[in-house]
Amino acid sequence: MRQSTQFLPTLKEVPNEAQIPSHQLMVRAAMVRQLAAGVFSFLPLGYRVHKKICDIVRQEMDAIGGQEFHMPALNPIEIWEQTGRVEAMGDVMFHIKNREGLVLAPTHEEIITFHARQHVHSYRDMPQIWYQIQTKFRNEPRPKSGVLRGRQFTMKDAYSLDATTEGLDAAYDKHEQAYRNIYTRCGLRFFIVGASSGAMGGSKSQEFMVESPHGEDTCAVCDDLSYAANIEVATSILAAIPRLAENPSIEEFATPGANTIDDLIQKYSIPEERCAKSVVYVADDQPVLVLMCGNDELNESKLQGVLGATALRPAEAEELFAWTGAHAGSIGPIGLRTPMRVIADQRLQHVNGLVSGANKDGFHLRNIDLDRDATIEAYHDVRTVRAGELCPTGCGKELRVVNAIEVGHIFKLGTKYSSALGATFLDENGKEHPIIMGSYGIGIERIMACFIEQNHDERGITWSMSLAPYHVHLLGLGMKKSESVRAVCEELEKAFTAAGIDVLFDDRDESPGVKFNDADLLGMPLQVIVGDKNLSAGNIEVKVRRTGERRIVALDDVRADVRSLLHGLA
RNA sequence: CGGGGCGUAGCGCAGCCCGGUUAGCGCGUCUGGUUUGGGACCAGAAGGUCGCGAGUUCGAAUCCCGCCGCCCCGACCA
């Protein structure tokens, strides 16, 4: 491809609206242009990468028996009403204004189920894996980070249809393997976390994550990747807090001005693990007091799971005083004005010698033995894991707490949609059941952006062979001046193309500096540099973009050398 | 939806507080010439509803009010 005739508007300066490296580079490298908040056009170079990712996804989906569909983004709202998701989606779903009854699909469970209901009637018709690569529309309240969080994006979404839970398990496992293959082939460093099953009900769900400071999810990971979990469910190994031999009876003492655990530690020399922090939440309109150890942070997701509550919020200051008789800082599990459920973190089980608020401003209780003095409904793990704690697998390594970007999600749906839409089949005994479904998503643009987040340097992108828009960037230096440079370039372009190597040929009348900088920005794996300086001695320069390694190669050896270098990079 | 920032040539910005020539600068673009191994140089040129609307004023990019758009933080995220 001749660069002089290509639409490839690279930018020297960083666009104002781009904050993160991948966004900046995608704009500078002429891959995308923004049309509106969260809405992007792909330019030819970016679309080449888009297509390469889609090809990899297709190959791996086809390999597990997936059949590709193409469903409409324009949907009748009626079908969404039948599953109750018009409400559930709320503002996220776009509604067509001048045509009552149409919406833009944010995902396709309903539509797949509609087609399954039409034609899948027998256990003999299953298993099926149906997928598509299609544009999704979600009215994100706050689009950000370039294509990482857009209002319109490309998703590979797959759905499995099975007659048995064993069948669903098999489909789910196939997808997990396919996803591993896809991200590996794309050159992403990723990890898998168990996700909290949330409101969808106890079905299994895993997220494929890419570590990034710009991620919106927080995960605890062990460095050898033997363990990784969303912070919402992560656990760790902590030293047990021993009981004290002396166990005097409980007594009140004045603690003026001590409103935080740190105050108690510093002003009253109380060890952190002997402080019991009380946090009051309102779970489905009922107050619950939660006792945490020291400065441990309460994990709302864990608490919600433990309580089985649908709505959970911290209590307001006025509620606190009304219920306990004290303000935040002096609240405790003993002597509450209003009786309420008391839950404690499992670290506090059987612990004595504790200090806690006396439910009287400016006073605390000491020598508390939870077993003797308090009524604790239950002990649960409700604390948030902190970086540096030990991996729960017992491998002995410390956990890191990192931000991450979700690039894929696999989910055992069960029968939620098939039941709602009446997609049923008859089993061997002629008995009717709802189809058992799974759903599996991959964000195409997120793969692209995450790849660039992980593969760039101060000069630009460093593509892998699998995603590179072109394999080789052929730079002709001073072609106007030197007929031999031009001739050799054209010969090489032809030879590479004939060998199945995608080559971008910079034949522009630009100075060498411009070409070098653009080549490093665009980041093709190999640069083949033809200039008078080396050519006069019968040589060509070949540069490996990622390592910066340069070698001078005899003209006759270039083709073989490039082929072996590309092979080594693949 | 709450908080903050920004909107001036294709891109990046100055000017705005403190109203007053013909609204500047860098990059890019066009023409001619000289250059050609890490973002060259000289000469010339084109390109602006100063986001939109309404006001104050003799006079508004600049001050007031309203709206729109974009970015960031927070809330939200099947």
ipTM: 0.95
Mean pLDDT, range A229-250, rounded to an integer:
93
Give pLDDT, residue A196: 59
CATH number of domain containing A77: 3.30.930.10
Q: How many other C-beta atoms can be found within 10 angstroms of the C-beta atom of residue A47?
A: 14
Distance A358 CA to B75 C1' (A): 34
Residue A274 φ/ψ, nearest 5 degrees:
-100, 10
Mean pLDDT, range A354-364, rounded to an integer:
94
Do both A324 and A366 map to the same domain? yes
- pTM passes above 0.95: no
With a CB cutoff of 8 Å and minimum separation 6, the contacts of A147 are: A23, A26, A32, A40, A153, A445, A446, A448, A449
Lowest mean pLDDT among A1-10, A230-239, A301-310: A301-310
Distance A34 CA to B5 C1' (A): 20
Do both A372 and A427 map to the same domain? no
Q: What span, in angstroms and rounded, lies between the C-alpha atoms of A408 and A157?
A: 10
How many residues can be counted in chain A?
570
Classify residue A370: in a domain, yes or no: yes
> Residue A306: beta bridge partners?
none
Mean pLDDT, range A525-542, rounded to an integer:
97
Which pairing describes strands A228-230 and A399-414: parallel, antiparallel, or unpaired?
A: unpaired
Q: What span, in angstroms and rounded, lies between the C-alpha atoms of A25 and A456?
A: 9
Q: Into how many domains does chain A fold?
A: 3
Per-residue pLDDT tens digits for A170-227: 999 999 999 999 999 999 999 999 875 544 444 788 999 999 999 999 999 998 778 9
Question: Which 42-81 positions of A have CB less than 7 A from strand B?
Answer: none
Range of the domain at A92: 47-234+401-452
- Per the CB < 8 A criterion, the answer to whether A539 and A552 are in contact is yes
Classify residue A387: in a domain, yes or no: no
- Per the CB < 8 A criterion, the answer to whether A479 and A489 are in contact is yes
Classify residue A419: in a domain, yes or no: yes
Q: What residue has its CA nearest to the C1' of B26? A: A13
What are the structure tokens assigned to A108, written together?
């396709």
Question: Which 301-360 positions of A have CB less than 7 A from strand B?
Answer: none
Residue A350 falls in which region: left (phi positive, over 0), alpha (psi -120 to 50) or beta: left
A36 CB below 7 A from strand B atoms: yes
Which residue in the block uniquely carries the two structure tokens 């944010």? A106
With a CB cutoff of 8 Å and minimum separation 6, the contacts of A400 are: A220, A221, A222, A223, A387
Q: Count Cβ neighbours within 10 Å for each residue of A31-45 and write b for 16 or more, e otherwise.
A: bbebeeebebebbeb
Residue A434 DSSP class: E
Do both A144 and A280 map to the same domain? no
Do both A346 and A306 map to the same domain? yes
Distance A436 CA to B44 C1' (A): 74
Per-residue pLDDT tens digits for A63-97: 999 999 999 999 999 999 999 999 889 899 999 98
Per-residue pLDDT tens digits for A462-501: 999 999 999 999 999 999 999 999 999 999 999 999 999 9
